[in-house]
Amino acid sequence: MRILLATSELYPYSKTGGLADMVAALGKTLARQGHKVGVVTPLYGPILQKAGELGLERMDWNLTLMLDWRTVQGSVWYLNKDGQDIYFIGQQELFNRPGIYQENGHDYFDNPERFIFFSKAVENLAMYLPWQPEMVHVHDWQTSLVPLLLTHSMESGKLKRAVGTCLTIHNLAYQGVYASSVFAMANLPWGYFGPSGSEFYGNFNFLKTGIVFSDKLTTVSPQYAKEIQGQEYGANLNGVLNQRQNDLVGILNGADYDVWNTEKNPALKYSYSLKNMSGKAKNKQALQEKLGLPQNPQIPLFGNIGRMAEQKGIDILIPALEDMLAGDIQFVCLGSGSAKYEEQVNQLRAQYPDKVAVYIGYNNELAHQITAAADFFLMPSRYEPCGLNQMYSLRYGTLPIVRATGGLVDSVIDPSESVQEADGFKFTNYNSNHLARTILKAMAVYYSPEKFKLMRSNAMKADFSWDVTAKKYTAVYESIFRKVT
């Protein structure tokens, strides 16, 4: 099959979260499985600066796109990687900036314009690439206009072949909601803007547009697919999603073990595997040393990596740790986000300088090192569409402690589900007491070497490889293909 993936972030070129990892791994796997794969993504400033080093080549393809009454020019850059064609969309004013969506904690005010332009570029590639993509698979709100653009092109006869569309929702909370006037930049008939189209309570909702106009919808775990059809997690779109429930599938993300592994990993000083775990202890010691914590192998080390947002449970994590830090534990935290929580974790460090280490910012190498060094990974998310860090932790023999929500339900096995198969800990009620109690349970296992060893071994054997996951996507694509032709 000939598939074009469209994404606003793509690892290793641009990344703010799991979306970048997911599209990179999906593309690579589909290509390996023999499909023709193109991936299209914006050419952000930091990528352009390294264009030569990365081997990007400017194509002989100038984009001339309308945004309402304005004509905006763009360029297409190309790279062949892992059997895929990667296309970077250049536009000096819109994309040549340091950030992906924001700078200094403030979203770019012209994000709707930036991603309408990008979506039109994707449509252009879908229509005019010589290899004629059959499927266009878009991700999240930033590319959610593409299915409507293609629908319109097909309905108006501008696009003469059938192109199937699929939207993957990585996080329903981010919908791209803007004033209705923004819709004018799409240069589409206003007939598409209405309660059964792009409009949502008077505004223009990008994600809803994708939900309504894509042939198929997927989200990143079976549990989250169920949750978003209810009111609690539905972020006001549960009704719209309900209407499309027959076209909505939950597919648990895979983990890219080419990148996230403990045996061949340039970020790790010591390699290790289930057969020889001594490297894990050495990585723990190296991290303790690097971050100025006492180098004691006996003390359980808890790690946390991610956006410091309420979604990730940081508001219950801090009080739970305040309770726990009186005991003999260490806590290492890597992340950035809300200033309030950044300050609170810094306060925790000030209070317990020999137990807590904090790195505010984004650091991929340190993320690998923490995941390898820690004994437990804390992920008490309020909601979690899929979550990747728990899968990475499992592979690194670091037992995840998670709240039972979304993809965390689908990827972690608690001892209460199966003592023999358990590979992590789950709790249900979203409060710091329950989290603290679960941390205590984890510590009890830590001090029972046999139980700990079994759980660690189960964790490292858990397999979320992309080979199986990618086939679930091709099954979805094929079902569309049957439908549209």
How far is residue 308 CA from its own chain's centroid? 15
Choice between 352 and 362, CB closer to ligand ADP: 362
Nearest CA among 79, 75, 40, 74 for reference residue 56? 79
Query: Minimal distance in Å, beta carbon 71 to ligand ADP?
Result: 35
Q: Which residues have a Cβ under 8 Å from the Cβ of 390 and sit 6 or more positions away?
A: 377, 379, 400, 402, 407, 408, 411, 412, 424
Query: Minimal distance in Å, beta carbon 333 to ligand ADP?
Result: 9
Choice between 77 and 141, CB closer to ligand ADP: 141
For the chain, count helices (H), then strands (E): 18, 20
Query: Minimal distance in Å, beta carbon 365 to ligand ADP?
Result: 8
Choice between 213 and 473, CB closer to ligand ADP: 473
Query: Minimal distance in Å, beta carbon 381 to ligand ADP?
Result: 8
Beta bridge partners of 459: none
Q: Which residues bind ligand ADP (CB under 6 A)?
A: 17-18, 21, 305-307, 334-336, 362-364, 367, 386-389
E strand map for 174-270:
177-178, 199-200, 203-205, 216-219, 248-250
The encoded tokens of residue 300 equal 């359980």
Choice between 93 and 343, CB closer to ligand ADP: 343
Choice between 18 and 250, CB closer to ligand ADP: 18
E strand map for 130-237:
135-139, 164-169, 177-178, 199-200, 203-205, 216-219
Question: Would you tell me how many other CB atoms lie within 10 Å of the CB of residue 397?
Answer: 24
Choice between 9 and 199, CB closer to ligand ADP: 9
Choice between 245 and 364, CB closer to ligand ADP: 364
Q: Which residues have a Cβ under 8 Å from the Cβ of 348 and sit 6 or more positions away?
A: 318, 321, 322, 325, 331, 356, 358
Query: Minimal distance in Å, beta carbon 359 to ligand ADP?
Result: 8
Query: Minimal distance in Å, beta carbon 344 to ligand ADP?
Result: 16
Nearest CA among 51, 53, 54, 23 for reference residue 39? 23
Query: Minimal distance in Å, beta carbon 307 to ligand ADP?
Result: 5
The encoded tokens of residue 470 equal 């990618």
By beta carbon distance, the residue nearest ligand ADP is 18
Identify the DSSP state of 228: T
CA 250 to CA 248: how far, in whole Å?
7
Query: Minimal distance in Å, beta carbon 390 to ligand ADP?
Result: 7
Three-class DSSP category at 194: coil
Phi-psi region of 371 (alpha: psi -120 to 50; beta: other; left: phi over 0): alpha
Query: Minimal distance in Å, beta carbon 225 to ligand ADP?
Result: 16
Cα–Cα distances (Å) from 380 to 26, 224, 230, 434, in that order, read 27, 16, 21, 10
Choice between 241 and 255, CB closer to ligand ADP: 255
Phi-psi region of 476 (alpha: psi -120 to 50; beta: other; left: phi over 0): alpha
Choice between 451 and 472, CB closer to ligand ADP: 472
Identify the DSSP state of 218: E
Choice between 96 and 311, CB closer to ligand ADP: 311
Choice between 367 and 460, CB closer to ligand ADP: 367
Query: Minimal distance in Å, beta carbon 16 to ligand ADP?
Result: 7
Query: Minimal distance in Å, beta carbon 306 to ligand ADP?
Result: 5
Rg of the chain (C-alpha set): 23
